[in-house]
């Protein structure tokens, strides 16, 4: 699924950052966990690899009904993968707002609903949090 078979006999130091990220995701998914914790799982990947892995992860999570808690700074990624987006404050981290993602899966990144939600989140972060 992650297209890493050709690296099965490679040592960790021989893997690129993206390949190491794929291996880490494979390790996390291998036993189909009930709960999956992810911290910026696609942060170091190029855009094409990142989107491909996001699609594959979404397929696995949907098929296996795995509960996932993911930390990300990527709003598009959050909308694509999450059913609920929780905005946290700066230290100490407290929940300050929640956005429900009521979009059908698989998600279409260029649909008007997807883009509108992205705009709403960015507007909230700009207006309420004064982040930019």
Distance from C-alpha of 107 to C-alpha of 41, rounded to nearest angstrom = 19
DSSP per-residue string spanning 70-87: EE-S-HHHHHHH-SEEEE
Residue 1 has pLDDT above 80, yes or no: no
Contacts with 49 (C-beta within 8 Å, 6 or more apart), sequence order: 18, 22
pLDDT, one tens digit per residue, over 98-126 is 999 999 998 999 999 999 999 999 999 99
Q: Contact, 2 vs 53, CB < 8 A?
A: yes
Contacts with 84 (C-beta within 8 Å, 6 or more apart), sequence order: 98, 99, 100, 101
In this prediction, residue 21 carries a pLDDT of 82
Name the burial class of residue 81, with classes exposed (0-12), middle (13-18) and buried (19+) by CB atoms within 10 angstroms of its CB.
Answer: buried
> What architecture does CATH give domain 5-127?
3-Layer(aba) Sandwich (3.40)
Name the more confident of 108 and 44: 108
Q: What is the CA radius of gyration of the chain?
A: 16
Residue 130 has pLDDT above 80, yes or no: no
In this prediction, residue 74 carries a pLDDT of 95
Pinpoint the alpha helices (H) of 30-96. Answer: 47-64, 75-81
Domain ranges, ordered by start, for the chain = 5-127
Residue 132 has pLDDT above 70, yes or no: no
């Amino acid at each position: 699924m992650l297209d890493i078979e050709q690296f099965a006999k490679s040592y960790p130091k021989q893997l690129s950052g993206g390949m190491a990220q794929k291996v880490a995701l494979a390790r996390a998914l291998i036993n189909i966990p009930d709960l999956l914790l992810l911290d910026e799982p696609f942060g170091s990947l190029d855009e094409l690899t990142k989107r491909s892995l996001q699609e594959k992860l979404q397929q696995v999570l949907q098929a296996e009904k795995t509960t996932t808690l993911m930390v990300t700074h990527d709003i598009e990624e959050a909308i694509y993968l999450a059913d609920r987006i929780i905005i946290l404050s700066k230290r100490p981290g407290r929940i300050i707002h929640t956005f429900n993602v009521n979009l059908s899966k698989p998600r279409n990144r260029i649909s008007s609903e997807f883009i509108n939600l992205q705009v709403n989140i960015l507007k909230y972060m700009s207006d309420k949090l004064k982040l930019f």
